[in-house]
Structure 1
């Protein structure tokens, strides 16, 4: 029987404890069930899922466009700092807003330096590339080398290769 995705995330969190960035990405397309898995995981750890879009947009509302770009990393770190470990993030689409001029993966890595973070990633992982959105879309991102542990909704996980 295949190992449930929930268990792969827990094993990835354990493996991430010794890494520079303690980041675990749950990668899947819209509607693939990422939110349900994150909720179950948060319940098990006695924490809650942070809706990044909602939390950040309310904090950024009063700021100018330039202030939003400059202060976003600090605000995201503060939001994560208020959460219990592991920090569970969902709905991270705001991080990809081109007007904010940010590298979403770098932001997530930054907040995972001092705490374990599990974040949903609305995209795909193919042939060692982490993708967000479709080619040509204004928010499209492609990462060749990712300093994070990845669990795919298709059951793949970077932790599997370390197990062998």
Structure 2
């Protein structure tokens, strides 16, 4: 399902792509990006610790709603807290169905996989791109 494209192959208007765009490198060409880490963390801190997993998607959507359509967000690291036990990519994709946005991936792209964190650490995650309805831009 998921695909990988080169940045130069990206249509001039990325809103033409129906899927979530995941930028896998820091591009200077990507216009204004918004950091969502503080707002996500504040929303999660307002919840009881045992409710944060259940509330993460709602909090993410509330934060995303504060930004204009076609926004590019970054700094989503708080979502990878291993205590939450959620599939971050599924949350990102579900939010894309509500609002057009793209995200700068806080990890790396290797061998058709998105990787977050370092092997051996509790927040380490590997996502096979083919399992998700996303377009990765490198």
**TM-score bin, normalised by smaller chain:** 0.7 to 0.9
Alignment of 1:29-48 (within 5 A): 33-34=26-27, 36-38=28-30, 41-42=31-32
Superposed CA RMSD in Å reads 2.2
* CA contact 1:50–1:89 (8 Å) conserved in 2: yes
**In 1, Cα distance between equivalents of 2:13 and 2:112:** 17
Q: Does the C-alpha gap of structure 1 residues 15 and 127 become closer, same or farther in structure 2, counting only changes over 3 Å?
A: farther
Give structure 1 regions of 4+ aligned residues with deviation exceeding 4 angstroms.
7-12
Q: Does the C-alpha gap of structure 1 residues 114 and 11 become closer, same or farther in structure 2, counting only changes over 3 Å?
A: farther
Q: Does the C-alpha gap of structure 1 residues 10 and 114 become closer, same or farther in structure 2, counting only changes over 3 Å?
A: farther
TM-score (norm 2): 0.81
TM-score (norm 1): 0.69
Which structure: greater helix fraction?
A: 1
**Structure 1 residues not aligned, in runs of 5+:** 43-48, 153-164
1:104 is aligned to 88
Higher RCO, 1 or 2 (CA under 8 Å, sep at least 6)?
2
How many residues get paired? 131
- Check if 1:75 corresponds to 2:59: yes
1:26 is aligned to 23
Q: Does the C-alpha gap of structure 1 residues 97 and 8 become closer, same or farther in structure 2, counting only changes over 3 Å?
A: farther
Question: 1:122 aligns to what SS in structure 2?
Answer: coil
1:13 is aligned to 14
Point out the structure with max Rg over C-alpha: 1
1:161 is aligned to none
**Structure 2 residues not aligned, in runs of 5+:** 1-5
